[in-house]
């Protein structure tokens, strides 16, 4: 039995209550074209178990989702003849998350396109070693 949330649009899509342009589906995931694509063929992978973000994602889904991403990305490269593909996932409003049911974006990239997924490279933190040590100690 999948865990779902009543007022979650992606749960409704995962259950088939709201239609979607599905490109892949199995027992655990649905992959659909994004309704407001960043580029031609932009798709999103939804686990059928509701998880608001990566921290709530069940281990089993976490283990499987990258395989689904690879499988769909390979098909997209073949069909769309794109030149590359970004695979990304946003957690929290500050990171650009707008739908709070975890999803992984598959964004086909075309040479010279206007998709903007960039940042200005910074300089290393002065206390990078200390920072790394603190994070390392917190990894569970």
Name the site residues for ligand AMP (rule: CB under 6 A): 9, 20, 32, 34-36, 44, 90, 96-99
Tokens for 111, please give them: 């040479």
Residue 63: CB minimum distance to ligand AMP, A: 21
Q: Closer to ligand AMP by CB, 17 or 60: give it.
A: 17
CB 101 within 8 A of CB 12: no
Q: Which of 42, 101, 103, 105 is catalytic?
A: 103
Residue 9: CB minimum distance to Zn ion, A: 8
Distance CA(9)–CA(6), nearest Å, equals: 8
CB 23 within 8 A of CB 72: yes
Q: Is 11 in the site for Zn ion (CB under 5 A)?
A: yes
Distance CA(14)–CA(59), nearest Å, equals: 19
Task: Please give the positions annotated as active site.
Answer: 103
């Amino acid at each position: 039995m999948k865990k779902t949330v009543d007022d979650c649009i992606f749960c409704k899509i995962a259950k088939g209550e709201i239609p979607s342009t599905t490109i892949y589906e199995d027992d655990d995931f649905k992959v659909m074209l994004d309704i407001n694509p960043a580029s031609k063929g932009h798709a999103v992978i939804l686990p059928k178990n509701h998880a608001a973000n990566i921290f709530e994602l069940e281990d089993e889904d976490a283990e499987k989702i990258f395989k689904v991403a690879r499988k769909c990305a390979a098909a997209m490269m073949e069909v769309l003849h794109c030149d590359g593909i970004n695979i990304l996932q946003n957690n929290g409003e500050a990171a650009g998350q707008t739908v709070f049911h975890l999803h992984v974006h598959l964004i086909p990239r075309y040479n010279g396109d206007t998709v903007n997924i960039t940042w200005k490279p910074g300089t290393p933190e002065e206390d990078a070693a200390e920072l790394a040590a603190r994070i390392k100690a917190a990894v569970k």
